[in-house]
Structure 1
């Protein structure tokens, strides 16, 4: 994707400059915590629909450092929240004392908890039909009164222009407040950037969040989450896929962000 193609004419109704950020390896990571984020979303939801939030970690940050177009995608949304513990740790060392790890799955859970009361409507885009069916069953059981506006599992191929237009129309017909995107990085962030201003809901790229809430996979114990060791738990769950990624990105992050101060 060329950098000029991901720049949108989308005009925000809120002032993005009021969101505190810490630049880490070129990515403007929101220097926030969960309480700040939930309050911000609650107060501004009607004005931030059509925009997107990136859930950023070491992998997406290193990828952004190596790919200018993807970096522009990360920086082009409403904000990039610190899903990875190392991001918030670097931020605090750089003077952002209130910056804390704010994971995509945790954000989903906090929003799901208040959805019945707030009458939030949710759309889920991504994953497989099987996972979406499980996700719907588990959410309805665990969060009584939650409104699932719609779900769609896209094909594993590029969509035609007509297909994409139909998907946008179908999503918007459901009048969602939140549009959760589960395509995995970097695909989900690029999808959100391409649909900025076209989707009438707040888009959030949450990666494995669909699988967590469908209960296909388990999150790390809370003590590991609080100790920034959730990456190790995920590595133990899927070593073949994640070992090479973690070795590549973690070493580059330590060298560039922690040692060189990028």
Structure 2
């Protein structure tokens, strides 16, 4: 793992110990220098999954950077007395890099989400970020991965955003990142939020670190997934006790 930020480990997963702006600036520098870069944005759900799935854990440990996506990660770091400065969400990195790509005419490849979301995405990009060179936009329901890989190899994008959810998006990146010396990043549901299909929590909820609760209220089906958070924090408190022994 490339680590200019002196990472903080939580359950063995090293998180970039930096601010959002510094993190995005570092990614921009690597893109400009054509450095192959794999970014994972990890929340408690991903950490817990990696804890019980060794192949996935080994895969994400090969990433260049892992960002603390989720207030649960920030709280865990504070509990373990190794605080991180702030949450760095996948969506914030996604939109930050899009704005920069618009200004610098970078080539970007988009993979994931439903077909109508991808259609909305390309329409919104053309209207709001005309400087972004969209060299590919495929939905996440592809049947032939080799065709996607061939397209990426031919187009040589500066950035590849994969929005197929974990672990699929990280598995895809790990298998194909050699195809172009750009930035590869899994962004989960960011395409849906970007086009307005899924509403991000209002600023009040974000400021009070209650974005997860807003999502739960507006999407009750997420209850099972959200139950991972108390399980995660229980494990963190267990680790804290062990470290005191």
Q: In the alignment, does 2:242 pair up with 1:244?
A: no
Q: Deviations over 1:67-90 (max 9, x none)?
A: 111111221111110111121233
**In 2: Cα distance, 1:166 partner to 1:49 partner:** 24
Change (3 A) 1:112 1:89: same
Q: Deviations over 1:71-113 (max 9, x none)?
A: 1122111111011112123334545555310001111111222
RMSD: 2.1
CA displacement at 1:185 relative to structure 2: 1.5
Unaligned runs of 5+ in 1: 1-14
Which of these residues, 74, 77, 80, is aligned with residue 88 of structure 1? 74
Aligned residue for 1:217? Answer: 198
TM-score, length basis structure 1: 0.84
**In 2: Cα distance, 1:178 partner to 1:256 partner:** 35
- Secondary structure of 2:179's counterpart equals coil
**In 2: Cα distance, 1:96 partner to 1:34 partner:** 18
**In 2: Cα distance, 1:52 partner to 1:129 partner:** 25
**In 2: Cα distance, 1:113 partner to 1:38 partner:** 11
**In 1: Cα distance, 2:81 partner to 2:28 partner:** 27
Which of these residues, 147, 158, 161, is aligned with residue 180 of structure 1? 161
**In 2: Cα distance, 1:58 partner to 1:48 partner:** 31
- Secondary structure of 1:235's counterpart equals helix
**In 2: Cα distance, 1:211 partner to 1:224 partner:** 19
Deviation beyond 4 Å, 4+ runs, structure 1: 46-49, 92-98
Q: In the alignment, does 2:179 pair up with 1:193?
A: no
Q: In the alignment, does 2:16 pair up with 1:36?
A: no
- Count the aligned residue pairs: 241
Aligned residue for 1:103? Answer: 89
- Secondary structure of 1:52's counterpart equals strand
**In 2: Cα distance, 1:196 partner to 1:132 partner:** 22
TM-score, length basis structure 2: 0.89
